[in-house]
Structure 1
Amino acid sequence: MDYAKLRKHLIALASLPKTDSPLVSAYFDLQQPLSAVRRDFLAWTELTRQTFAGSLRQDFDDAVEEIESWLGNATGKSAAIFSRWGEHPLLLPMTFDVPMKSRLHVDEYPVIYPLVELKDRFNRFVVVLVTSGSARIVEVNLGSHSVELLAERPALRERIGREWTREHYANHRKERDRKFVKEKIAVIEALMAKRGHNALIIAGDSRYVARLTSALPRSLQSKLIGELKTGISDQKMQAVISQAVESFLVKEREESFDAVNLLVQAVRAGGLATVGYEPTRRALLEGRASELIISAKLLHEEREELVRMASQQGIQIETVRDCELLDRNGGAGALLRYELQDSPDEVKIEAA
């Protein structure tokens, strides 16, 4: 599963029509033994089916059977699958290379907050792995990676004592290195612009990391979020990518808190924001919200409703964990497209 496909699936799930038939949202931690995952799922379904009767129970059983059948061949570190029978039937499985907790829900609408949080936390970014001989430009997409380009440094024939003086050789090597760095920067810029990346990490031998970093233009300097100075080899590449993901998650958490601070500033600057569940819901209903900022601790039903509305509109969602300021102020807020004409009491920030 890649980032673009997940985004499309989220919009589709958020836009599903409501029906009487139960919709099962199942999230599985596949790092556990599959037998244990299946056992827990069947135990939940056996208990839950007793809450339905008649045709609704049959629809629930059929939806569960679809999930159980798919689960037998599940791969990856985690999975999410949505299943419904009856009117507007649905079967949508997704697998991921990042962990998620097991969660089981049945309701009229799909439960999508875990996917929204996954999409926000494990955004796409670029890692450049540099050594004395090559530069690998890697896209990390929802925790997994693909090598977009492997550029080998052109070989330089040994000519000292024959055709070139030592000074000539040194000058040629310096020019070759400068050209190599310049070419790589052009590739990085093109890739990040094309794929819409806003974050860059450079990893590798310390002197080559420093050389590439110092040569970055201002446009890329602003997107550089980390440097990992470590040796690179094919055997170590996965470990380095894992380090890069951890560095990115730290930065993403900082950005989540930055979004809360921006919300506070917008309130103080004249009301181009709202806080609390009801005012935020109203802003989304009226199409005035430009970004939703939401706490993982918000009540399940309220959280699902807000992210469903925001996903339908395709607006940015910033998920926030362990932010006392946001939790103290209703667990949700929105930046607005234009000034809110509500009473001042609805946009107060409780700071202490």
Structure 2
Amino acid sequence: MALTITSEVEALLTRLSRFEPCGAPVLSLYLNAQPDQRGRDHFKGFLKKELQERVFAFKAPREVRESLEEDARRVEYFLREEIQPAANGVALFACGAANLFETLQTEAPIDTHALYLTPTPHVYPLALLSEQYPRYAVLIIDTNTARIVVFALNARVGEQVVQSPKTARTSGSGWSQMNYQRHVDHERLHHVKEVIERLDLVARTDKIDKIVLAGEERILPVVRNHLSPALSALVVDKLRIDVEAPEHEVLERTLESIRAQQLQSDRQIVAHAVDSHRAGGLAVVGLKPTRRALERGQVHVLLLSAQPQAPSDGTSPAQGETAASGDISVEVADELLRRARQTDAHVRLVEGPELLRGVGGVAALLRFRM
């Protein structure tokens, strides 16, 4: 079984968000599968204790309990026999009564173990994973070589190399030297244009909405000047990275840049939502107005705190709708997220914990007013 890629996560989120309750609980399990210093998984203790205790303590009619027990056995078998060595995060969703058994394995780590027994799949941690490790492209270029690397879920999912003939400026004088320098400039410009054509194809084929430019300072301005308006709008940052830099360095530096840009974008969109709400525009803030807008299909962009109130025991959704901190609970965040995906609203999980705290951890931009 291959590790999951971003498009599969999006498809999985859509399927799970549209799940209809069937009278039996859905077992949603999230595991941090990063190995310890000895190379061993450290989720087995959590699994043995929590899965057995929660299933045993679940109160339901006999046939529902038997179905849940079978779900637990199937989950245990999967974790024992089918975990991939490269997986740092694992998620499973099981409900035999509804013929549901979905799994995800990814190189992106899931921060904490969590187990939920709820009427519908608990998808918030899955959406957060996709948001924290988005799909994006990196172009690393020098005067004759370029790498176009696509990352998603903390892993490289594609790479192309464009190699052009090496050219070098020479010392000298006279018309022959001038002609040679014009030839060098022409070849380098041809190299840039070829790379941009390839980047454009990758962006369209892989549905890229974020691009990081990196490489030699002397050629990056040439690249920027020849990008189409559509490609230029996708560029979020420019970095100095050697074209031969190892993959882990490229991933680490570009992901840090992507997250910094996301935080800046979060600040802007939250400020826009709050200002628009105050002006009576197409926005609402707070739990009740946002929930009502979702029920009416008004929401265009749902803004949710990426750090909602966590369960006290880390195993089940928090009870109640808002926490003492002013943020919504995990349970409510999950409900709102599922409703948004059911109505094809876009969801933004806002990383800065202070950005939405003043409005209860949730806001929305609207398609229309009632």
Please give the TM-score of this superposition, normalised by the length of structure 2.
Answer: 0.84
Letter of the 1:70 counterpart: F
Please report how far the alpha carbon of residue 205 of structure 1 lies from its aligned counterpart in structure 2 after TM superposition: 3.1
Partners of 1:105 and 1:293 in 2: CA distance: 23
Aligned to 1:74: 83
More displaced stretch, 132-141 vs 308-317: 132-141
Q: Is the contact between residue 263 and residue 352 of structure 2 (CA under 8 Å) also seen in structure 1?
A: no
Structure 1 position 260, deviation (Å): 0.8
The equivalent residue for 1:105 is: 116
Where in structure 2 are the equivalents of 1:241-260 lying within 5 Å? 241-260=251-270
1:59–1:206: structure 2 CA closer, same or farther, 3 Å change rule?
same
Q: Which stretch shifts more, 71-80 or 298-307?
A: 71-80
Quote the offset at 1:210 in angstroms.
Answer: 4.1
Deviation at 1:208, TM superposition (A): 3.2
Q: What is the percentage of aligned positions where both structures have the same residue? A: 24
Equivalent pair of 2:33/2:41 in contact (CA under 8 Å)? no
Deviation at 1:218, TM superposition (A): 4.0
Is 2:192–2:223's contact at 8 Å kept on the other side of the alignment? yes
1:286 and 2:296 equivalent?
A: yes
- Pairs within 5 Å for 1:15-26: 15-26=18-29
1:27 aligns with 2:66: no
> Secondary structure at 1:196's aligned position in 2?
coil
Q: Structure 1 residue 5 and structure 2 residue 35: aligned?
A: no
**Equivalence map 1:303-342=2 (5 Å):** 303-340=333-370
Alignment of 1:148-227 (within 5 A): 148-155=159-166, 165-227=176-238
State the shift of 1:2 in Å: 1.9
| Other structure's SS at 2:219 match | helix
Extract unaligned runs of 5+ from structure 1.
341-352
CA distance in 1: counterparts of 2:355 and 2:239, whole angstroms: 32
Flag the 1:132–1:179 CA change in 2: closer, same or farther, 3 A: closer
Structure 1 stretch displaced more, 115-124 or 240-249: 115-124
Matched, 1:48 2:50: no
Cα distance in 2 between the residues matched to 1:36 and 1:237:
27
Task: Give me the whole-angstrom Cα distance separating, in 2, the residues matched to 1:74 and 1:214.
Answer: 47
Match of 2:69 among 61, 66, 70: 61
Counterpart-to-counterpart distance in 1, 2:42 and 2:211: 39
Alignment deviations for residues 105-156 of structure 1 (CA, whole Å, 9 cap, x no partner) = 1111111011112222322211001134311111122222233421101256
Structure 2: distance between partners of 1:207 and 1:97: 35
Alignment length (residue pairs): 336
The verdict on how the C-alpha distance between 1:238 and 1:32 changes in structure 2, with shifts beyond 3 A counting, is closer
Instruction: State the match for 1:232 in structure 2.
Output: 243
Distance in 1 (alpha carbons) for counterparts of 2:196 and 2:127? 32
Q: How does 1:87-166 map to 2 (within 5 A)?
A: 88-101=98-111, 102-155=113-166, 165-166=176-177
CA distance in 1, matches of 2:168, 2:255: 38
Are 1:293 and 1:319, in contact at CA under 8 Å, matched by a contact in 2? yes
- CA RMSD, 1 decimal: 2.4
Q: Is the 8 A contact 1:136 1:147 kept in 2?
A: no
Change (3 A) 1:232 1:179: closer
The CA distance in 1 between the partners of 2:55 and 2:63, in whole Å, is 12
Counterpart amino acid of residue 78 in structure 2? W
Higher helix share: 1
